[in-house]
Structure 1
Amino acid sequence: MNLPEVTYPQETKDRVRNLLVQEARRTPKRKRKWLALPVVIAVAGTALAGTTAAGVYTANAPVNDKRGIRCYYRADLTTTYPVKANPKVIMPPYITTGNFLPGFDAKNNPNPGDPDAGMQQISDPVNQCGRNWDLGMMNPQGITDDLIPPGFVQTKPTADPSKSSANGMPSDKYGNPLSGPAGPNKLIGHYVPQLTACVLDNSVAVIPGGPEICAHLGIPSLEK
């Protein structure tokens, strides 16, 4: 993905513009030649807006609508994946996740033009996508096998006494049944990498990686 293709909120654009103007107006001080490179790197970082006390530029952007959260398979915003059973079907680099409002009637949707109609606002996008990783949904066709550390052992589901499924059977901490017609639920306890909430196309994008991953990809971090 080219940086010009990334959509930033207007507030972030204004902040970037102000930082660039301030940087240009500064009176340059005499520096030894070996210090020139770090200065150039720091100035280039203004493209990501905002500063810290250490002089490292970072970016934060808000997202008002958090009903549909993008969970990315990898720290890669563009790679798509053909479905092995039908190569003509292409999986995007993420899945979209969300929670429906209790009692929502999709057949009588008052906002049919809204793809997220009937969905709840997600207060913790990282936990929302972490659940998908835990359930094994983020490794279709083994495309994220290389992210799993050697020696990783899938944990066994643990019942949460405060939760139960519709039939009264014990559930895990997310409310998923520990057993069913097919036996124990094997889609719990999968590897969950470190995840970070970023902003892309005015949507929350939860991406595998530490706090630096958003800047590495050239997109803002989600403003808390």
Structure 2
Amino acid sequence: MNLSEVTYPKDTKNRVQNLLVQEARRKPKTAPRWRKPAALTFAGLALAGTTAAGVYVAFAPVEDKRDIRCYYHADLTTRPPVEGSPGETKPPYITTGIFITGFDAKNNPNPDDKNAGMQQIADPINQCSRVWDMGNMNLSGINDDLIPEGFISPTPGAMPTAEAVVDQNGKPLFRDPALRSFGNFIPFLTACVVDGTVAVIPGPAEVCAQLGIPALDESSR
């Protein structure tokens, strides 16, 4: 998928375009040879500039990573229809997490915590890659446009294959070697931040900036 094919909210796209224009008008300053580039941090937010495209990428930390959003598209607002329910829509993402084994929900010490009993997710990209692999991101064909031509998707309801698949970073999708891949398409994913929550969005590293949202500060792990 090319970035030109990404759908953005109109106001977000305009902000990104204005940012590009402002940066293009800046005159580059010659830095001393001994000075190394560094990201500037302020109040938990870092801004890093790319020299070629002139795009500033904001980085934001997320402390609570128990609930991860896996977006269907690089689109933060469009709500896809609910299959079988005319006129009803659902959020543009699926939430995913890992329950703590043996957690006693009846004796929950924090009943107001909607994520009680969930583990912190150390690798959101890997977590959402599993959701894509299992076919949960394309139940009604809402993102067939992301699947490359010639890719053979498994038959719905089929059992996992004998193949052990890794994510885009070379990490196994499942810690248990006995678990195998379902074989559904997994796009390249990027971890961004939306509403203070980790949002894993299909698209290259630039997709967060293109959508006008910060990228996840990985140093906050």
Same structural fold, with TM-score higher than 0.5 when normalized by the shorter chain: yes
Query: Could you say which residue in structure 2 is the equivalent of 1:90?
Result: 89
Note if contact 2:46-2:60 (Cα within 8 Å) is conserved in structure 1: no
1:217 aligns with 2:211: yes
C-alpha distance in structure 2 between counterparts of 1:90 and 1:223, whole Å: 31
Residue from 157, 160, 167 that aligns with 2:161: 157
- Does the aligned pair in 2 maintain the 1:133–1:192 contact within 8 Å? yes
Mapping of residues 56-71 of structure 1, within 5 Å: 56-71=55-70
1:157 positional shift: 1.8
Give the 3 Å change call, closer, same or farther, for CA 60–37 of structure 1 in structure 2: closer
Q: TM-score, normalised by structure 1?
A: 0.67
2:191 is matched by which residue type in structure 1? A
Amino acid at match of 1:194: F
| CA-CA distance at 1:39 after TM superposition | 1.2
Cα distance in 2, alignment partners of residues 106 and 88 from structure 1: 35
Change in CA separation of 1:60 and 1:149 when aligned onto 2, cut-off 3 Å? same
Aligned match of 2:38: none
TM-score scaled to structure 2, two decimals?
A: 0.67
Whose radius of gyration is greater, 1 or 2? 1
| Kept after mapping to 1: 8 A contact 2:58/2:214 | yes
Q: Percent identity, aligned pairs only? A: 55
Which runs of 4 or more aligned residues in structure 1 lie more than 6 Å from their structure 2 counterparts after TM superposition?
none
Q: Deviations over 1:37-77 (max 9, x none)?
A: 8216x9xxxxx962336254211110000000000000000
Indicate if the aligned counterparts of 1:83 and 1:90 stay in contact, CA closer than 8 A.
yes
1:191 counterpart residue number: 185
Q: Note the aligned Cα RMSD (angstroms).
A: 3.1
Higher helix share: 1
Structure 1 CA distance for aligned equivalents of residues 178 and 139 of structure 2: 22
Query: SS in structure 1 opposite 2:47?
Result: coil
Matches of residues 109-128 of structure 1 in structure 2 within 5 Å? 109-128=108-127
The 1:215–1:36 alpha-carbon spacing in structure 2 relative to 1, beyond 3 Å, is closer
CA distance 1:91–1:56, shift in 2 (3 Å): closer
Q: Tell me, which stretches of 5 or more residues in structure 2 are unaligned?
A: 1-8, 13-20, 29-44, 155-159, 165-172
Q: Report the Cα distance in structure 2 between the residues aligned to 1:57 and 1:88, rounded to whole angstroms.
A: 39
Shift in Å at residue 205 of structure 1? 0.1
